[in-house]
């Protein structure tokens, strides 16, 4: 088996036992990126020279047998909205096509301190706005399972890179399903942690009350290893939770006897593909065979989650993206006669259509006369959704359902109809609205041999339960080992 096919845990064991070096592993990944990235489009920037230098430094530490992290010498790729010092961070936008941050995001710094080797920055929907990875200014990302299909978004590059073995793991961000949807479409494992457990300092903001950084990997064990590094309180992030964080690897127990699972009827009823529904129910049968029990429950406000999400996220985006004005950094229009024209031309030329659409929607929702009717009402719906989840978790240990109504669709199939594309997030946005953790594992393939993702939703700060159930599922199934035929 090639080094690039191995998990973080397997690579870490090889490094500790001196059976491979960090430089060897990094070279294999860089060669594979050269071979496949021109077609797949996962990376915007590849850090070949610095990656090999970092790998050599990490190997020196490993050779000295110092007390090292399980991630020491392991390559990683980062979504291009997470700041990396002296490395271009574009958000896949013309607006930031030349932006080089003078600092690391907290997550970038933690991974660097743990000894990871940065392979490069990954493609995404522009400013994380989209579900297909078609809105990138540079190029679209193709799904490794079928090059004519979308990889999901906005962290499409992050999921496709892990699926195609262009990185052993990657970091993404999730505002309404942007880690979980691509993980499902690309057949990999991904997690959106509880809001506030992973610092957002250095993440270019889309919607501040919804955004959350999280990992994408080949299996659940790798997720736990990464979570141990990236979680924790950060005084630079006002929303960061100052609590005691567990060792997530201790949740990796192949025992789920007595677990109670709720399956919302709204998630497996009308609108879901029969093949997706069948795979979800078969996955639940596996969990039942391991001693868990499930029953149908109801989350009746599910139908209001999409409008509430798009109003809240667009309003916050309208505010956050006001900073991109051509004055301080990023793209600046070449021709303008005064300051107002500089703003107008810069933003008209620098932002893509989807970003403009959401800025306008958000500005409208926040405007005088409409604030109470739209934004305030969306916040009230948010409170109701949170209470409904709390009520459901009084009875169940976790909620399980599909990640998306269908498997990956073809390019252009939904991008001409934004509303239809937005409805694809129906099962994921509620998790961000309520600030809960969500984890996706592969649970099957459809007739076209496209991956299907199973979504696990937990109580706030109950990542260990999600990891435990997902780990037990992967210990008793082979779906996460299936690969695209590259």
Catalytic residues: 79, 154, 178
Runs of H (alpha helix) within 367-486: 377-393, 418-423, 429-434, 463-475
**E strand segments, 12-161:** 43-46, 75-79, 117-122
Assess whether the previous peptide bond of 154 is cis (omega < 30° from 0).
yes
| Sheet of strand 75-79: strand arrangement | 43-46, 117-122, 75-79, 169-173, 213-217, 189-192, 438-445, 451-457, 398-402, 260-264, 293-297
Beta bridge partner(s), residue 120: 46, 77
Residues in the chain: 486
Composition of the chain by helix, strand, coil, percent to 5: 40, 15, 45
Give the 3-state secondary structure of residue 296. Answer: strand
Beta bridge partner(s), residue 402: 454
Number of helices (H) and strands (E) in the chain: give both, helices first: 15, 11
Q: How many CB atoms lie within 10 A of CB 43?
A: 25
């Amino acid at each position: 088996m090639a080094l690039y096919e191995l998990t973080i845990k397997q690579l870490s064991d090889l490094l500790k036992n001196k059976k491979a070096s960090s430089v060897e592993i990094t070279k294999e990944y860089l060669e594979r990126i050269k071979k496949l990235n021109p077609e797949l489009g996962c990376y915007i920037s590849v850090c070949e020279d610095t990656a090999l230098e970092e790998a050599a430094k990490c190997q020196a530490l490993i050779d000295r047998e110092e007390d090292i992290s399980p991630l020491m010498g392991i390559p990683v790729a980062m979504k291009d909205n997470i700041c990396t010092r002296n490395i271009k961070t574009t958000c896949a936008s013309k607006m930031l096509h030349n932006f080089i941050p003078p600092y690391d995001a907290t997550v970038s710094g933690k991974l660097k301190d743990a000894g990871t080797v940065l392979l490069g920055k990954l493609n995404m929907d522009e400013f994380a706005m989209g579900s297909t990875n078609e809105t990138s200014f540079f190029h679209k990302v193709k799904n490794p399972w079928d090059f004519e299909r979308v990889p999901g978004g906005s962290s499409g590059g992050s999921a496709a890179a892990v699926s195609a073995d262009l990185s052993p793991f990657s970091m993404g961000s999730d505002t309404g399903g942007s880690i979980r949807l691509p993980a499902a479409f690309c057949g990999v494992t991904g997690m959106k942690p509880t809001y506030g457990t992973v610092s957002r300092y250095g993440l270019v903001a889309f919607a501040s009350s919804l955004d959350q950084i999280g990992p994408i990997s080949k299996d659940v064990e790798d997720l736990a290893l990464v979570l141990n590094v990236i979680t924790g309180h950060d005084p630079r992030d006002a929303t960061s939770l100052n609590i005691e964080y567990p060792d997530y690897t201790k949740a990796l127990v192949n025992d789920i006897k007595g677990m109670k699972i709720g399956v919302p009827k709204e998630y497996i009823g009308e609108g879901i593909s029969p093949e997706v529904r069948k795979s979800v129910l078969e996955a639940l049968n596996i969990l039942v065979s391991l001693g868990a029990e499930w029953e149908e429950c109801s989350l009746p406000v599910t139908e209001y989650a999409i409008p509430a999400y798009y109003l809240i996220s667009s309003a916050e985006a309208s505010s956050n993206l006001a900073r991109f004005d051509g004055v301080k950094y990023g793209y600046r229009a070449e021709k303008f006669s005064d300051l107002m024209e500089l703003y107008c031309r810069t933003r008209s030329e620098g932002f893509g259509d989807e970003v403009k659409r959401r800025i306008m929607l958000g500005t409208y929702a926040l405007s005088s006369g409409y604030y109470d009717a739209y934004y305030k009402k969306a916040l009230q719906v948010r409170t109701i959704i949170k209470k409904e989840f709390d009520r459901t978790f009084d009875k169940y240990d976790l909620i399980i359902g599909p990640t998306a109504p269908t498997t990956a669709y073809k390019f252009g199939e939904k991008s001409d109809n934004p509303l239809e594309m937005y409805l694809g997030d129906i099962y994921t946005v509620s998790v961000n609205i309520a600030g809960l953790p969500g984890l996706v594992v592969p649970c099957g393939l459809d007739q076209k041999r496209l991956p299907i993702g199973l979504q696990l939703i937990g109580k706030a700060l109950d990542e260990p339960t999600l990891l435990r159930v997902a780990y037990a599922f992967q210990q008793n199934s082979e779906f996460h080992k299936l690969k695209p035929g590259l």
